[in-house]
Amino acid sequence: MHQLKQNIERYLMSCRELTTFCSQNGWIDNHTLHYEIIHEDDHEVIAFVQFEEILMEGSGQEASRISCQGRLRLLLDRYGQVTDTELL
């Protein structure tokens, strides 16, 4: 279980699909990324993901932050590595 959590965390930190949950085309603040496993079996994990989207001004300064959230289905191989993602 511990290894699975590490695999999921590592995957989510670089998962491009999470940008779909951004509402203003900003950047994901990985320091605010949290997830909760809703369902788990040998082949998939369904997770509820939350993070803050960072919005920038034209000058490069941070303008604001927006809370974002969504659900993902993470498909796993037999070693617990994420092989594919589906937005729910």
HEC readout, 28-68: EEEEEEEEEEEEECCCEEEEEEEEEEEEECCCCCEEEEEEE
| Strand partners for 53 | 28, 66
**What local confidence, expressed as pLDDT, does residue 63 receive?**
86
Q: Which residues of the chain have pLDDT under 50?
A: none
**What local confidence, expressed as pLDDT, does residue 70 receive?**
97
**In the sheet that 27-40 helps form, which strands lie side by side, from edge to edge?**
27-40, 44-56, 62-76, 82-87
